[in-house]
Amino acid sequence: MLLVSVTLATTIYSMTVLIVSVVLPQMQGTLSATPDQISWVMTFNILATAVVTPLTGWLTSRFGWRRVMLTGVFGFCAATVLCGQADSLESLVLYRILQGGLGAPLVPLAQAVLLDSFERRQHGLVTSIFGMGVVVGPIIGPVFGGYLSELLNWRWAFYMIVPFGAAGFVGLWVFLRDGGRASGVRFDWTGFIALAFAISCLQLLLDRAERLDWFESPEIIIEAALGCFAFYIFLIHSFTSRAPLLDLRLLLDRNYALGLVIVLIYGMLNFTPMVMLPPMLKGIAGYPESVIGMLLSARGAGALAGFFLAVWVGKLDPRIGMLAGFGLLVASGWHMMTFDMNVTSLDVGITSAVQGFAVGILWVPLTIATFATLDSSKLAETMSVFHLLRNVGSSIFISLSVTILVRTSGINYARFTEFISPFNELLGFPGNNASFDISGLSGLAAISIELDRQADMIGFLNAFGAFTFASALALPLVLLVRMPRKST
């Protein structure tokens, strides 16, 4: 029952990511938001998770497993209800920040609780059941969330999570004993606050720069200056403190330094398609939310298969699994670059499944290779930075992808309008749509809508190109990883 309760409490967190991605187009219409604005619903949630995750160890030492887990689940459910009741973009983003921050300790703490509560001989079975439960969430979440949002509205995609959270809370209240407390545990608050402030400024800059015309805006200049100053404080503190958040000397370890760069790229690739595909499928191809949810759930099914295979791949050289995973991501990205406005559900479903499979098969060998040459006494410190960069990569690349979409679609729309003229003989071609008559306002409006769709499609393809390029960047880095020889 403890395993069921902990798994259920963690599954609600993994469900939320894909559910929100399915209903992004509907939220955008309800809240009158632009594509770059509605992406804040995803990016700031991931950013809050990234910032709070390193606090898990200190919170556990200070308050214990029971109090942190119960507070996290209760706060997560409360924030989820508030997300469903949000009546403006600003309030929704605020509640999503609370949701990400309160739910951040659940996953790492749940694993620690299970490994400590069960005997070592049961760790393999317990970890497998826990992993399957966490992966099942992204499969069932989009399906039911998509149907509910189509039948009712997007708010019910949030409300449907609450019963699962309530069941997990009751189970933890009954079956979870206290533990994990430790006296005298110190946390590097100076380094943590400086790094969190630097990352937050970078995220704000990327989210708002396109709308404010980049460095022509005083706000963007201030955010860039404050972010650079905060990062400078972090570096100076890390070099001079006796117990910094990250001992920069650990970066001299080849595998760990490469692993941090690779996991940053892994994070960049993890959530970006889930943010880009629903607006494309809804706004351009006209898919309903229920179908979009089914297509995104294929990613969860692929991830489940990838995690199963990763158990076998883990016995081989980790570089083989990483090369296979990133290679599949390159292939899927290349395939997305061939999408058009008549993209079929089969194409999208296969692409989502392949990406989920690649992500699933990547994680275990990436973790093994990153920490293979590190002293085990440094695992707590290095693991928090590892997960921090994974989440930061996700939030940053989502913002960059949305910027590419908005900027290139605007440029192409402007170029397209140059061809709308009475002197363009193609507009009078007999096979053309009769609504494309530039002699009246209705015809001009129809042409404008079509040009907007075509320009947006090019913007999505450019974003998929950036995804493919980032996937390919990881391949040479994997080849630089060196695995220690096994002792005979």
Do 201 and 268 belong together in one domain? no
Of the candidates 156, 172, 170, 166, the one whose C-alpha atom is nearest the C-alpha of residue 77 is: 166
Answer yes or no: do 162 and 236 share one domain.
no
| Torsion 403-469-17-66 (CA) sign | negative
- Tokens of residue 66, six digits: 């029971």
Last residue of a domain, one of 213, 244, 275: 244
| Mean pLDDT of the chain, nearest integer | 79
* Domains of the chain: total: 3
Mean pLDDT along residues 36-48: 77
Report whether pLDDT(427) > 50. yes
Cα–Cα distance between 175 and 229 in angstroms, integer? 47
Q: Do 197 and 177 share a structural domain?
A: no
| 43 plus 165 within the same structural domain | yes
The pLDDT confidence band at residue 122, using thresholds 50, 70 and 90, is low
Asked if pLDDT for residue 302 goes beyond 50, the answer is yes
* pTM assigned to the model: 0.76
User: 53 and 78 in one domain?
Assistant: yes
Residue 487 pLDDT: 46
Domain check: are 58 and 166 in the same one? yes
Contact 204, 34 (CB under 8 A): no
Please say if the pLDDT value at position 15 is more than 60.
Answer: yes
Verify that 234 and 353 share a domain, yes or no.
no
pLDDT band at 136 (very low <50, low <70, confident <90, very high): low
Residue type for position 404: I
- Condensed to tens digits (0 to 9), the pLDDT of residues 216-267 reads 788 888 888 988 998 898 888 888 877 777 777 777 878 888 888 888 888 8
Compute the average pLDDT of residues 79-104.
86
Alpha-carbon gap, residue 309 to 307, rounded angstroms: 5
Region of poorest pLDDT, from 6-15, 94-103, 350-359: 6-15
| Final residue in a domain of this structure, among 132, 157, 183 | 183
Give the mean pLDDT of 430-443: 63
Structure tokens at 442: 């209705």
Asked if residue 31 and residue 60 are part of one domain, the reply reads yes
Question: Is 10 a residue whose pLDDT tops 50?
Answer: yes
Distance (Å, rounded) from C-alpha 109 to C-alpha 116?
11
**Reported confidence tier of residue 488, pLDDT bands at 50, 70, 90:** very low
Cβ(72)–Cβ(106) below 8 Å: yes
Separation between Cα atoms, residue 247 and residue 243, nearest integer Å: 8
Average pLDDT rounded to a whole number, residues 439-464: 83
> Residues 249, 250, 256, 261: what is their CA dihedral angle, to the nearest 10 degrees?
-50
Three-class SS of residue 29?
helix
Q: Give yes or no for residue 16 having a pLDDT over 80.
A: no
Domain holding 199, by residue range, is 189-244
C-alpha distances out from residue 412 to 94, 322, 357, 407, 457, Å? 34, 37, 34, 9, 10
Residues 165 and 41 in one domain: yes
The mean pLDDT value for 137-141 works out to 68
Q: Quick one: 260 and 325 in the same domain?
A: yes
Asked if 123 and 240 sit in the same domain, the reply is no
Distance CA 478, CA 488 (A): 26
Distance between CA atoms of residues 246 and 258, nearest Å: 16
Would you list the DSSP string of 173-204? Answer: HHHPPP----TT----HHHHHHHHHHHHHHHH
More confident residue, 463 or 283: 463
**Listed range (36-50, 126-140, 155-169) with the worst mean pLDDT:** 126-140
Specify the CATH number for the domain of residue 263: 1.20.1250.20
pLDDT over 60 at 380, yes or no? no
In a shared domain, residues 337 and 447: yes
